[in-house]
Amino acid sequence: MNVPAAAPGTRVLRSPFDVEARRAEVGVALPEPKTAPALVMAPMRDVNGVSFYADEHKSVIDPDLQAQNVAALRPLRAFVKEVTRLADGWMVSRPADPRYAGQALTALARWAASGALLGAANQQGAYEREWTLGSLALAYLKIRDAPGVDPTARAAIDHWLCAVAAQVEPPYERAGKTSSANNHAYWTGLAVGAAGAACQDRALFDWGIARARIGIAQVGKGGVLPLELARQRRALHYHVFALAPLVMLAELAAANGVGLYDENDHALRRLADRVIAGLAHPSTFERLTGFAQEQVTTPPRAADLAWAEPYQARFPDARLAGWLAAARPVVDVRLGGDLTAAFAVTTGSPYTPRP
């Protein structure tokens, strides 16, 4: 791996991304960055989405409600996409072009100054705010130490990310709530843990790692997450969705001397093996649930493989290799952007950045 583990007990919280090493591995010449309209949009303080499931198991999507949710959140998602794109540009530009980091930092500083994401949020909006925090915190970890960063702007962004993290924590501390133990907890753990690393807040970092352990503890001998299996026809999809933040949390933990991959008798590897087998043969989840699986394809889409880039770099698996080669570059803004650029071992296959 390109990010060596920190010594246990280290005071400085480290990023899971080694920007200089990745630039040496995959760096390419990039054009001058252009300012996208999404970067100068009015910062979004309130986040309100539209719940789009039509059944109690949350396995059936109402397409009209889903379209309303996409429309309501389009500006926010556009902002996140551009910030992560610029952070990736800084990581892969060779020679290093600080204009990529500068544009992203300027946009984040505007949002910090406006108290973005700190207003009201309905239930769906709260989920989106958590994913947004994770996206932006992970992207920021790529650019926080870029040369020429204004210390005042950096301090403001640090403070803002910590403030948003503190606001998204409480709903996931309610004992007995499914969302405090299923994929929502892991995604929120990633968001809060990454924000903690960005603003050097050990309590936030530890809280995020604790959410990962909630998921890891649930993985049985067969590599199944019971709460995601309950999603019936979308059980495989939600196993993929839950694995993604758990893998990235394990990478964040490894960079800081915490071995989540080893916990519960290597539970994350059992979970990954179950997911890989399911992506190859969705019928395995049909037998587990009694329902034909939806929203998965064979071979898997790039959207279902973002977690696989860091995992494959650490635990090479022949089943993943072909899928990843066909899907690259693999990008997921919820995991911070371009996972191929951030983690892939690309020897023998030149890296091509996302458009």
CA distance 212 to 334: 16
- How many other C-beta atoms lie within 10 A of the C-beta of residue 71? 11
**For the residues 158-180, what does the mean pLDDT come to?**
92
Mean pLDDT of 259-263: 98
d(CA 165, CA 148): 26
* Three-state secondary-structure class, residue 179: helix
pLDDT of residue 330: 95
Q: What's residue 144's pLDDT?
A: 96
| Mean pLDDT of the 184-213 span | 97
CA neighbor of 231 nearest in space, from 60, 38, 20: 60
Three-class SS of residue 47? strand
Torsion sign across C-alpha atoms 103, 108, 113, 119: positive
Arithmetic mean of pLDDT, 187-206: 97
Q: Which amino acid is at 132?
A: T
pLDDT of 355 strictly over 90:
no
What confidence tens digit (pLDDT) does each residue in 45-54 have?
Answer: 999 998 877 7
Query: Helix count (H) and strand count (E) of the chain?
Result: 14, 2
- Look at 7-11, 64-68, 105-109, 134-138 and tell me which has the smallest mean pLDDT: 7-11
Is the predicted pLDDT of residue 88 greater than 70, yes or no? yes
Place 347 in a pLDDT band, splitting at 50, 70 and 90. Answer: low
Q: Which residues have a Cβ under 8 Å from the Cβ of 188 and sit 6 or more positions away?
A: 130, 168, 169, 172, 208, 211
Q: How confident is the model at residue 326 (pLDDT cuts 50, 70, 90)?
A: very high
* Range 144-167 average pLDDT: 95
pTM of the model: 0.93
Q: Is 295 left (phi over 0), alpha (psi -120 to 50) or beta?
A: left
245 contacts 134 by C-beta, under 8 angstroms:
yes
**pLDDT(5) > 50:** no
Does pLDDT of 348 surpass 90? no
pLDDT-derived band at 76, boundaries 50, 70, 90? very high
Residues forming beta bridges with residue 338, ordered by sequence position:
331
CATH architecture of 19-343: Alpha/alpha barrel (1.50)
User: Higher model confidence: residue 59 or residue 186?
Assistant: 186
Q: What residue segments make up the domains of the chain, in order of their start?
A: 19-343
Average pLDDT for 334-338: 97
How much is the average pLDDT of 27-38? 92
Beta strand residue intervals within the chain, DSSP E: 331-332, 337-338
Q: What pLDDT, on a 0 to 100 scale, did the predictor assign at position 4?
A: 35
| pLDDT, average across residues 254-263 | 98
Q: What is the mean pLDDT of residues 59-70?
A: 84
Mean pLDDT within 327-344: 96
Residue 244 · residue 330 · CB < 8 Å: no
Instruction: Output the average pLDDT for the chain.
Output: 92
- Give pLDDT, residue 58: 67
Tokens of 19: 């920007």
Task: Categorize the per-residue pLDDT at 11 as very low, low, confident or very high, splitting at 50, 70 and 90.
Answer: low
